[in-house]
């Protein structure tokens, strides 16, 4: 089901509004240089899970959310979409470039340090970008004519990938849990708004 139908479109915009409100609430707290108790509890718990054998895999998964991992993914996905979803093949790089600008703006505005004391921790840019990227992929799969079983599997793989990368950011001690949550809700709001906008523009009657 696409986002351009009136009921579905309204639901998508409502969900985007709620996600944005959740982000603003988290950002307001983070801007006061405040950390939730659960941030410290989760960081302590993650510390118990660290093992030398996990270090390399966690760094590998984390690369998926930075420019070295995202740029090839975006290029390959746009090329694959060219024959069947040309508007999304063109829109995807623009949408993803927007996530880069959005994360820089929000990180600068909040300016809360990371657990390792590096700057600009909130929100997690890796999680934000991957929520948008895999969210677009999941949306296209769910609106495709492929079998429902294959769509569920592909959407599940996309969701698990986002969760593993989110965990890797906590494991590598470069984000608090609230940073990850902030990246997720901001990415969800941006994802829903951009899908609604792209689909609405593509279906606008020619003048």
In a domain, 195, yes or no: yes
In a domain, 70, yes or no: yes
Q: What is the pLDDT of residue 153?
A: 84
Q: What is the pLDDT of residue 61?
A: 95
For the chain, what is the domain count? 1
Mean pLDDT per 10-residue section of the chain, whose length is 207 residues? 59 91 96 93 95 96 94 95 90 95 96 94 97 93 74 85 97 97 97 88 58
* Residue-number span of the structural domain to which 140 is assigned: 6-202
Q: How far apart are CA 134 and CA 156, in angstroms?
A: 10
In a domain, 111, yes or no: yes
In a domain, 207, yes or no: no
pTM for the full model? 0.91
In a domain, 68, yes or no: yes
In a domain, 1, yes or no: no
Close Cβ partners of 200 (under 8 Å, ≥ 6 residues apart) = 3, 4, 9
């Amino acid at each position: 089901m696409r986002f351009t139908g009136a009921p579905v479109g309204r639901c998508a915009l409502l969900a985007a509004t709620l996600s944005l409100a959740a982000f603003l609430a988290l950002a307001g707290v983070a801007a006061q240089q405040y950390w939730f108790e659960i941030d410290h509890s989760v960081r302590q718990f993650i510390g118990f899970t660290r093992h030398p054998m996990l270090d390399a895999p966690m760094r590998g998964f984390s690369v998926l959310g930075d420019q070295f991992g995202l740029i090839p993914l975006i290029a390959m996905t746009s090329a694959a979409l060219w024959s069947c979803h040309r508007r999304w093949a063109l829109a995807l790089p623009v949408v993803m470039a927007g996530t880069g600008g959005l994360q820089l703006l929000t990180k600068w505005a909040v300016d809360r340090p990371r657990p390792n004391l590096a700057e600009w921790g909130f929100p997690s840019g890796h999680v934000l970008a991957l929520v948008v990227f895999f969210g677009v992929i999941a949306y296209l799969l769910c609106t495709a004519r492929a079998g429902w079983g294959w769509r569920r599997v592909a959407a599940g793989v996309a969701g698990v990938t986002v969760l593993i990368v989110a965990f890797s950011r906590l494991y590598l001690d470069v984000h608090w849990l609230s940073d990850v949550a902030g990246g997720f809700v901001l990415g969800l709001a941006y994802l829903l708004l951009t899908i609604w906008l792209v689909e609405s523009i593509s279906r606008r009657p020619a003048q």
